Homo-oligomer: A and B are copies of this chain.
Amino acid sequence: MNELTFGVVSVGNIGSAHAASLFAGKIDRSRLGFLCDSDPAKKAFCAERFPGVPFFEDAEELFAARPDAVMICVPHPLHAELGIKALEAGINVICEKPLDVSVKRAKALCDAAEKNKKALAVMLNQRTDPIFRKARELFLSGAIGELKRSVWIITNWYRTQEYYDSGSWRATWNGEGGGVLLNQAPHNLDLWQWICGMPATLRADCRIGRFHDIEVEDEATLMCRWENGAEGIFITSTGDYPGTNRLEITGTKGRILLEHSRLTLETFEPDERVFRLDESKKPRETKKLEYTFEEKGSHKKIIANFAAHLLDGEKLTAPGRDGLNQLVLSNAAYLSSFSGKEVSLPPDGDEFEKLLAELQKNSAKKSASSSAPDGEYRKRWQVNW
């Protein structure tokens, strides 16, 4: 097999952008084979933008057309259901993030991939960003010793009310399944645990509609603790303007700081746990290295990696199961915030389903629907520093 045929299911914001990348031949050995959207109005857009590409209104018809892989780009709460259907039809899947709105549903999706022996990746495109890759490589190499503390202030996800009003599904428990933790910050939640590992417990304060007229949270503060006692604080908001993006990871032998597209590595010898007990060994200096990065991560790199995985067995950058962790963190954050209690990770899946059902019962009766396509990766999806 030299070339893969992709189907794109739902031609909204992000689906149309992936379709355009594939259609333009921007992904090595990958082509746009089929399109699908339940909204018949998208048919005209696709005919004009992607001439000659078969268009279906029903995803199962697309699956029946046997693409090598499909990209699941429907609204979040439909991801697992549709992804499972594709996998059961024997088709490999790239699922948009988050895998779904709950760990339980997302886990069912991962299980379906294993059961059907098909590949599943999740669109954690920021994992391809060199600055985060470098941070992870340094951390995992032990450059800063053992984790002590990590603080991520990621408040530059600013959104206006117009943004929230732009899609009826947006910022509703029914349509989207959450707020900033599920829509904007999942990338950061994923990267945080990808670099530092998963915390063991979590407390959170999710503020519902603090800045906007929405029924979900537009601000969240997470206080986490890792198994080794390390502390984590994660602050995110869509109401701070222009906001901050600053990730600090403190270890027993140094610190990694990411800010303004720059990674600063400070290290010292010996390990702090040594001179804590023997002041005479306190370092005279810290060694400082700075790395700057021109290149950014991209969605296309995730698709290319998926193709290379299918064709050459290359390791997946964002395997499906990795997508569970951001949901473990956000589901636990909702459970903690609504109960006022600390939550052990992973949280109880059924308990979260119950909470979500409760929230959805009182949710605006907006249903999940895809948004207007334009075939472009939007600027607001980029990492801002």
Contacts and interface: CB of A to CB of B under 8 A. Distances in A.
Contacts of A276: 160-161, 211-212, 239
A160 B241 contact: no
A277 B221 contact: no
A255 to B, nearest CB: 8
B223 A241 contact: no
Most B CB atoms within 10 A — which of A151, A155, A282, A342? Answer: A151
Interface in A226-252: 229, 231, 233, 235, 237, 239-244, 248, 250
Interface string A131-155: 0000000000000000011010101
A210 interface: yes
B210 A229 contact: yes
A48 interface: no
A205 B221 contact: no
Interface in A158-179: 160-163
Nearest to A240: B250
Q: How large is the interface on A (under 10, 10 to 19, 20 to 34, 35 or more residues)?
A: 35 or more
Best-surrounded residue of A231, A266, A342 (most CB of chain B within 10 A): A231
Contact of A239 (B148, B237, B241): B148
A345 to B, nearest CB: 17
Contacts of A340: 342
B279 A160 contact: yes
A244 B276 CA distance: 18
A275 interface: yes
A116 interface: no
A272 interface: yes
Given A160-B277, A211-B276, 17 more contacts: A149-B155, A149-B237, A151-B153, A160-B275, A160-B278, A161-B276, A162-B278, A207-B231, A212-B276, A221-B223, A221-B233, A239-B276, A242-B255, A242-B268, A244-B250, A244-B255, A340-B342
The 8 closest A-B pairs by CB, nearest first: A162-B279, A160-B279, A241-B272, A240-B250, A161-B277, A160-B276, A161-B276, A151-B153
